[in-house]
Structure 1
Amino acid sequence: MRKDINIPEVADVYVAAVKEFNETHRTDDWNAYIVNDSDEPLELVLIVSNGYNEKKKTSLMRHKLQVLPAKSFAKIEFIEDSVLELTNEFAVTYFLDGKMFEKTFVFKAGSIKDENKAPVPSMLKEGVLAE
């Protein structure tokens, strides 16, 4: 019965950490974004995020987007400096063409740093892409 369940592979959707200047606080902050680099809009995007290591665990954060247009992105949340030392997961579920897609994107502990920045699809910015 389990072999009959077809879970489509996620493609052209990313979670990225992007360092940006915060005008209000005059600081450089890391922010998490969901990126839709596909040619179709994503519908009912649900994101559950958390961070953890052997000793610490953050609370779960839940986010919802009704629609994420094609070739666009949306800010998920601010990433506080103290959680950069943790493994951070973003479980993403969405609908595309009437099918449900899901993937857990992971930033390994210590991977969100300037040395790991690369171009982020559809954003015209550099950031760190989750695995």
Structure 2
Amino acid sequence: MKKDIEIPKVEKVHVAAVREFNEEFQAEEWNAYIINNKNVSIEMILIVAKGYDGTKETSVMRHKLEKLPPHSFAKIEFIQDAVLELTNEYQVTFFAEHKMFEKTFVFKKNTVSKDKQKDLPIIPKMGILAE
């Protein structure tokens, strides 16, 4: 029975951490973004975010986006610096082309830092893609 269930592979959808200047607080901060680099919209996007490391664990945060057009991105949440010392997971579920997709994107602990930033797809800024 399980062998009959098709689980499509998530391609061209990413989660990225981007360092940005916050005008309101006059400070640099990390923000998580979801990137849709597909040629189709993704819909009913559910994102469950959490951080953990042994006995330390953050609150579970849930986010929902109705639709993300092709070749676009959207901010998920602000990431506190203290949370970057933990492994951070973003479990993303969405629909595209009449199928449901799911993938867990992971930022391993201490991997989000200014010196590891690279060019990102779609977003015109430097950042770090989750694995």
Question: Shared topology, TM-score over 0.5?
Answer: yes
User: Does the alignment pair 1:25 with 2:25?
Assistant: yes
What is the CA–CA distance in structure 2 between the aligned matches of 1:75 and 1:13, rounded to whole Å?
14
Provide the residue aligned with 1:76 in structure 2: 76
Percent identity (aligned)? 56
Amino acid at match of 1:48: V
The count of residues paired between Structure 1 and Structure 2 equals: 131
Amino acid at match of 1:117: Q
What is the CA–CA distance in structure 2 between the aligned matches of 1:45 and 1:120, rounded to whole Å?
21
Amino acid at match of 1:104: T
Any idea what the Cα deviations from partners look like across 1:81-114, whole Å, max 9, x if unmatched? 1101000000000000110000000000000001
Per mean C-alpha deviation after superposition, the further-off stretch among 119-128 and 84-93 is: 119-128
Query: 1:116, CA displacement in angstroms?
Result: 1.2
Amino acid at match of 1:86: L
Which runs of no fewer than 5 residues in structure 2 stay unpaired?
none
SS at match of 2:85: coil
Provide the residue aligned with 1:97 in structure 2: 97
What is the CA–CA distance in structure 1 between the aligned matches of 2:46 and 2:17, rounded to whole Å?
18
TM-score by length of 1: 0.99
Q: Which runs of 4+ in 1 moved over 4 A?
A: none
Q: How does 1:1-131 map to 2 (within 5 A)?
A: 1-131=1-131
What is the CA–CA distance in structure 2 between the aligned matches of 1:82 and 1:17, rounded to whole Å?
14
Any idea what the Cα deviations from partners look like across 1:37-78, whole Å, max 9, x if unmatched? 111000100000000001210010000000001000000000
What is the CA–CA distance in structure 2 between the aligned matches of 1:55 and 1:99, rounded to whole Å?
36
Which runs of no fewer than 5 residues in structure 1 stay unpaired?
none
What is the CA–CA distance in structure 2 between the aligned matches of 1:53 and 1:35, rounded to whole Å?
26
RMSD: 0.5
SS at match of 1:10: coil
Query: 1:27, CA displacement in angstroms?
Result: 0.4
What is the CA–CA distance in structure 1 between the aligned matches of 2:119 and 2:12, rounded to whole Å?
14
TM-score by length of 2: 0.99
